[in-house]
Amino acid sequence: MTYVVFFILCLLNFSLGIISVLKFKYNNLALKLFFVITILAPLGKLTTKFHTNWQISSYYLFFVGCFLVFLLKLLSNNKFKKQTIATLVITVGTLLILGIHYFLIGDKDVTLTNILKDIKPYLTILLAIPFLEVYKSRLGQILTRKFINNILLINLVITTVFFFLMLQFDLHLKLTDDPYFEFEEVRLETLGIFFGGFYLFYLVIKDKKPTLKEIVISGVPLFYTGNRTMIFAFILVMFVVYVSKLTFKKILLLISGGILSFVSLGYLVVTATENSPIYRIKKLFEDGYISESFATRFSPFINAISDFSFLNFIVGKGVGLTFYIKWFVWRSEIDNYNVYLDSLYLTLYAKYGVFSILFFVIFYLYLNSYRNIKASNYYYLLFVLIAITNSFCYQFNFLWFLIIIAAPYNVDNNSMAIQSQNKTP
């Protein structure tokens, strides 16, 4: 069943991607359908094994068309912004550095598949840029506030129903044979849920006061993910954004309201049952849970660096390095040795040592190519926090993240497309 669903989604995304770049009557409809399907499909991690084993997600196939068009534009000497070109050049340069790094000190016994998995985050950035450059003038016509609110309302209904069916009737177990879902608490991660979270974040940093409806349809589904770090990061950075704009009197009022909200949330957490989407937050307060969790998360890293030489501690061990994940043993379709850990910092350090900084430099340059400096800093802070317990650039949603944090939303519902040369805050 999993293979059938995955194949259908791949074929559909590839077809829509090709149609969207053709001079065809329905090319805008194809682009819009891509967003509709990607946001509303409640599949998420149900196709995890394809991503974990081969780093492939079905929605990647949509990008084939725009990538080919972008290459043609480059070959025909089309002009692009200097910062965009700089990001492209530095990303390609980093790939060359990693290649040299591998040939000089890398482990030659690593597999080609694992090498490709490690360079994929950089290739993903090289795939996101063509999407934004090819579709940028059209995205402003599609991503209006009205369209987004409508699609997120539908997404709230779908994810809520799907999450309920997972809880009560084990629907997810009928769609995948991955044993992971049999033993872990129910969590639902879809691209639509993340779209809502980042859209709400955009409204906050854009200084467009989100309505109660927008807060509900964007924020509620985030709790279905059970992703504590991401939820905490969203709340913390948006709080920082708001506080930076307030007077002292309003800050005091906000603190009072924050205390009341904290007490209310605390009550919900304390009374949460195992089937509740916020039960994972409650577990943080169980005796010894945090220390045990950190020991579990970091044990693969400790094992990996146990045989490091002095040079490895400075420059890492190179692309293709894997970590033995002992809890993958009972997942027969997934390799017990994975190329990334929960923490992005530990993952990159073990592989590249001091060269780990290159990824974060490129990521910031990418942000600054499509957002102003102030907005880029807020987005960057958000991902710096997420990276503590999430190797986000290795996840199935990284390409989606790159698109939705840089897309030119038309939140004023202006029917005119946003001009491609303007930066959106």
49-59 per-position pLDDT tens digit:
666 666 778 89
Tell me the pLDDT tens digit for each residue of 360-378. 999 999 999 999 999 999 9
**63 or 163: which leads in pLDDT:** 63
Residue 252 has pLDDT above 90, yes or no: no
175: pLDDT strictly greater than 70: no
Domain definitions of the chain by residue range: 2-43+63-404
Closest to 21 in 3D by CA, of 57, 63, 59: 63
pLDDT reading at 145 higher than 70: yes
Q: Vertex 411, ends 134 and 140: CA angle to 5°? A: 15
Please provide the average confidence, as pLDDT, over all residues in the chain: 84
pLDDT over 70 (residue 294): no
181 has a pLDDT exceeding 60: no
pLDDT value at 89 more than 90: yes
- Is the model's pLDDT at 420 over the cut of 50? no
**100-104, 136-140, 253-257, 287-291: range with lowest mean pLDDT:** 287-291
153 vs 422, more confident: 153
197 vs 206: CA distance, rounded Å:
14
Given a cut of 60, whether residue 308 has pLDDT beyond it is yes
- How many angstroms separate the CA atoms of 39 and 221, rounded? 12
Q: Which residue has the higher pLDDT, 27 or 244?
A: 27
pLDDT above 90 for 47: no
The answer to whether the CB of 321 falls within 8 A of the CB of 111 is no
Q: Is residue 419's pLDDT more than 50?
A: no
Q: Is the pLDDT of residue 140 over 70?
A: yes
Which pTM does this prediction carry? 0.84
Extract the tokens encoding 103.
């040939």
Q: Is the CB of residue 119 less than 8 Å from the CB of residue 162? A: no
Asked whether the predicted pLDDT for residue 278 surpasses 70, the reply is: no
Q: Is pLDDT at 417 greater than 50 in this prediction?
A: no
Q: Could you give the angle at which helices 112-142 and 357-370 cross, rounded to 10 degrees?
A: 20
| 380 pLDDT more than 50 | yes
> Burial, 295: exposed, middle or buried (Cβ in 10 Å; 0-12, 13-18, 19+)?
exposed
pLDDT in tens, 192-208: 999 999 999 999 998 88
Q: Is the pLDDT of residue 142 over 70?
A: yes
> 319-351, pLDDT tens digit by residue?
999 998 876 656 656 667 889 998 999 999 999
How large a percentage of the chain has pLDDT more than 90?
Answer: 51
Percentage of the chain modeled with pLDDT above 70:
80
Residues 85-110 as b or e (16 or more Cβ within 10 Å = b) = eebbebbeebbeebeebbeeebeeeb
Does residue 383 have a pLDDT over 90?
yes
**Helix pair angle (27-40, 2-21), 10° resolution:** 150
Report whether pLDDT(75) > 70. Answer: yes
Q: Is 389 helix (H, G, I), strand (E, B) or coil?
A: coil
Q: How many other C-beta atoms can be found within 10 angstroms of the C-beta atom of residue 199? A: 24
Q: Which helix (H) or strand (E) holds 76?
A: none
Q: Give the pLDDT of residue 279.
A: 64
Q: Determine the pLDDT at residue 57.
A: 85
